[in-house]
Amino acid sequence: MTAFFADKKSLLLSLLLVAAGIGAYANSFDGPFIFDDEGSIPGNVYIRQLWPPRYLVSAPGLCTVSGRPIVSLTLALNYALSGYKVWSYHLFNLLIHISAGLVLYGIVRRTLLTDRLKNRFGEHSSILAWAIATIWLVHPLQTESVTYIVQRTESLMGLFYLLTLYTALRAMQSQRPAAWSVLSVVCCGFGMATKEVMVTAPVVILFYDRTFGAGSFGLALRRRGALYAGLASTWCILALLILSAYRAAFDLGPLEYLFSQFGVILHYLRLSFWPKHLCLDYSWPVEKDYLAILLSVFVVFLPVAATVWGFIRNRSWSYLGVWFFVILAPTSSFVPIADLVFEHRMYLPLAGLVVLVVLGGYSLLARLSSRFGSVNILRTVGIPSVLVVSVLLGWGSFVRNRDYQSVAGMWQKVITVVPNNRRAHYNLGNAFRAAGMLDEAIGYYRRALEIEPRYTDALSNLGLSLKAQGKVDEAIGCYQRAIELDSEHAEAHNNLGVALESTGQRRAAINHYEKAVRIRPDYIDARYNLGNALAVSGRFAEAASQLRELLRYGKNQARVHIALGLVLKVQGDLDQAISHYRRAIEIDADSADAHNNLGTALAGAGKLDEAIYHFRQVLRINPSDAEANYNLALALKLQGDFDNALGYFREAVKQRPGYLAALNEATQILLAHPDTDRRDASEAIKLAERAAESTGYGNPAVLAVLADCYAAAGRLEEALETSQMALRIATAAGNKELASRIAKQIRGYQQQPAAP
């Protein structure tokens, strides 16, 4: 019965824990992709398919998920579920975090029930574990690991880390530890394939065993040698992934990085106890003030020394210092990483601080309670204090989540904390450019360049904004400057190619597209632009090769199938072209281009009924598409449905008043309708005159049609005058075939009897 109530109590506390997590993050589901999300999700072609598995161990260069295949797998699952709709990504992040909170609850509760601690904490182990897990779960410092989508690298690694410890703990306490040991090794392996910080897990678990299990390293290794051998073997997974991944070089020496990290650790501690002014990107400067370094070293040295002393003396509280400092070591010691500070690095270390505060507060209240006898200070002070702190921290997380609901809002928040953060100005410029606010975007790019004149990304995107304003020459200058500073800047090469192509310099554009693709073979936009430029240049075989190569990076690229279909159609392979158009429609049923191109290809193959269906699909998607109206009208005309064809030709002209082909086709039907009662020379003349006016009466083919309209209306004099004008223009242009046809037309008019 006691066990039953204990399980029931644990279940209730677990449900309260879940409710706390949901409450703190209830407003986190619609935050857009931000910062490193862009390169890891929308810019990551490898997550767009789940098969073959080799895609999941690949990632673009300098990408957050590079060398982290488990994270890539979860992102691929999200993409399969919701594409680029963010709700599933945020939901998955929250599930990871709540699961980690539940595992932390289980670890703390079972640890408090160990022989070493149960006399002091066993009676209230469940409520203490719940208090610790709840505070850790709702703490605002965790928002970067939960609401910032791609930082699931930290929270997912944290979950595997906690699961590894939990299953190892169960193995220590079980009479049949084999299954728990295997699970621990499996979780550790998954963690190693998630993030490099997992490297510390085997050591931290061995320290746990020494502190709360076996009592000494030697006994722990003798009792559970197979477990620790298995945990250590997972380092091989991490080593292989590190060797396969590309990481940015950081021009900072180990000592400079280390001395800067003492101040960073103090910053982390401040945020743990007073989580105000949280910042996505601190742009933390390298510490060069020797007095500040000595002061921070001294302050950090005190808890480190206390931890070492306590661990040597086998004090249980020292394990919290081991947990904090060892887990922080990969990012806050002497190994240089491209950014000195990120809040998500405190995801797991924060748990040690929360345990220290809660158990320290409990011990203090327990002493006070025993001193005052009948007054239950634990109940009257302890639980209300935990509830108040949890609510305040949860509200802090809820408020912080609002910053993630807007890209521009987030970067403006960063600028308020760090005004001279070049990346903040750059990313704010990106947000304004995406919103079409080009003047504002240009202002922020220029500010980023004032802070860092060699900021090539800002130069490249400044060029994009200038080009969008029609300032192509200035844009080209920006791209060229970026390439001067960094000849391997793929985006600048691609952007320069686009700008050059817009000015008719296609050969030079192709050269830059090729350089961008050489630098980054998985650069989708550059390879796509290269394929299209080659096709327009008549280099169809090379274009097809580039577009087929694109499909290697993911079959689900509708625009690539469309472009490849166009090239194959020009090459005469109509069947393959149709196949690629169909594939594009399977991927995106609302692709007007795919439906239109497929309809055109089917019409060319004589499959008019199916072609008409796809033209109608284009008009379903975009009723004002003049080309689709024209194509549908042509197909209907070929089927002999002249009345409906005329209606769609008229609609095409309505949508595009200068649409000569549609005007000419409409006039032809009006002049030569099989049903003579349906002929209407007057309307034909109006349409033909509109066509002639739209060309400034300078297109001989259009003038020839207008002449026919006048003749059909019996206005032979105007017909002759118009056709003679057309003949002069065609002759001057050297169009002998058209001139011959118009001359024949003139002779026909001359042979007609004059009107009475």
pLDDT tens digits along 201-226? 999 999 999 999 999 999 999 999 99
| CA 72/CA 77 separation, integer angstroms | 9
**DSSP letters of 151-179?**
GHHHHHHHHHHHHHHHHHHHHHH-SS-HH
DSSP three-state, residue 67: coil
pLDDT (tens digit per residue) in 99-152: 999 999 999 999 999 999 999 999 899 999 999 999 999 999 999 999 999 999
Is pLDDT above 80 for 658? no
**DSSP letters of 307-363?**
HHHHHHTT-TTHHHHHHHHHHHTTTSSSS--S-S--GGGGTTHHHHHHHHHHHHHHH
Is pLDDT above 80 for 402? yes
Mean pLDDT, residues 617-622? 96
Q: For residue 382, what is the DSSP state?
A: I
Is residue 184 assigned to a domain? yes
Is residue 445 assigned to a domain? no
Is residue 199 assigned to a domain? yes
Mean pLDDT, residues 630-653? 93
CB-based burial of residue 80 (10 Å sphere; 0-12 exposed, 13-18 middle, 19+ buried)? middle
Is pLDDT above 70 for 177? yes
Q: Output the pLDDT for position 50.
A: 83
Report H helices in 139-253.
143-146, 152-173, 178-192, 201-208, 217-223, 225-233, 235-244
How many other CB atoms are there within 10 angstroms of residue 504's CB atom?
9
Q: Output the pLDDT for position 59.
A: 79
Is residue 223 assigned to a domain? yes
Is pLDDT above 60 for 5? no
Q: Output the pLDDT for position 295.
A: 95
Is pLDDT above 90 for 263? yes
Is pLDDT above 90 for 250? no
Q: Is the peptide bond before 623 cis (omega within 30 degrees of 0)?
A: no
| Banded model confidence at residue 755, pLDDT cuts 50, 70, 90 | low
377 vs 645: which has the higher pLDDT? 645
pLDDT (tens digit per residue) in 363-389: 988 888 777 665 566 777 888 999 999
47 vs 228: which has the higher pLDDT? 228
Is pLDDT above 80 for 1? no
| CA 60/CA 370 separation, integer angstroms | 61
Containing domain of residue 211, as a range?
160-245
Is pLDDT above 90 for 278? yes
Percent of the chain with pLDDT over 90: 80
| CA 477/CA 471 separation, integer angstroms | 10
Mean pLDDT, residues 546-552? 91
pLDDT (tens digit per residue) in 493-542: 999 999 999 999 999 999 999 999 999 998 989 999 999 999 999 999 99
Is residue 193 assigned to a domain? yes
Q: Output the pLDDT for position 6.
A: 52
Long-range contacts of 570-577 (CB under 8 A, 24+ apart): 570/535, 570/540, 571/540, 571/541, 571/544, 574/601, 574/604, 574/605, 577/601
| CA 41/CA 27 separation, integer angstroms | 21
| CA 549/CA 553 separation, integer angstroms | 7
Q: Which of 482-486, 524-528, 542-546, 683-687 is least confident?
A: 683-687
| CA 13/CA 61 separation, integer angstroms | 44
What are φ and ψ of residue 503, in 5° steps?
Answer: -100, 10
| CA 745/CA 724 separation, integer angstroms | 10
AA identity, residue 257: Y
Q: What is the mean pLDDT of the chain?
A: 92
Q: What is the pTM of this model?
A: 0.84
Cα R_g (the chain), whole angstroms: 36
Report H helices in 552-695.
558-570, 574-587, 592-604, 608-621, 626-638, 642-655, 660-672, 681-694
Q: For residue 278, what is the DSSP state?
A: -
Q: How many domains does the chain have?
A: 1
Q: Output the pLDDT for position 375.
A: 54
Is pLDDT above 60 for 2? no
Is residue 176 assigned to a domain? yes
**Cα angle for residues 8, 13, 15 (degrees, 5° grid):** 95
**Cα angle for residues 420, 421, 422 (degrees, 5° grid):** 105
Is pLDDT above 60 for 4? no
Q: Output the pLDDT for position 751.
A: 83
Do residues 348 and 96 make contact, with C-beta atoms less than 8 angstroms apart?
A: no
Q: Output the pLDDT for position 368.
A: 80
Do residues 703 and 735 make contact, with C-beta atoms less than 8 angstroms apart?
A: no
Is residue 214 assigned to a domain? yes
Q: Output the pLDDT for position 196.
A: 95
Mean pLDDT, residues 548-564? 86
Is pLDDT above 90 for 9? no
Q: What is the sign of the dihedral through the CA atoms of 578, 579, 584 and 589?
A: positive
Is residue 164 assigned to a domain? yes
SS3 of 457-495: the string is: HHHHHHHHHHHHCCCHHHHHHHHHHHHHHCCCCHHHHHH
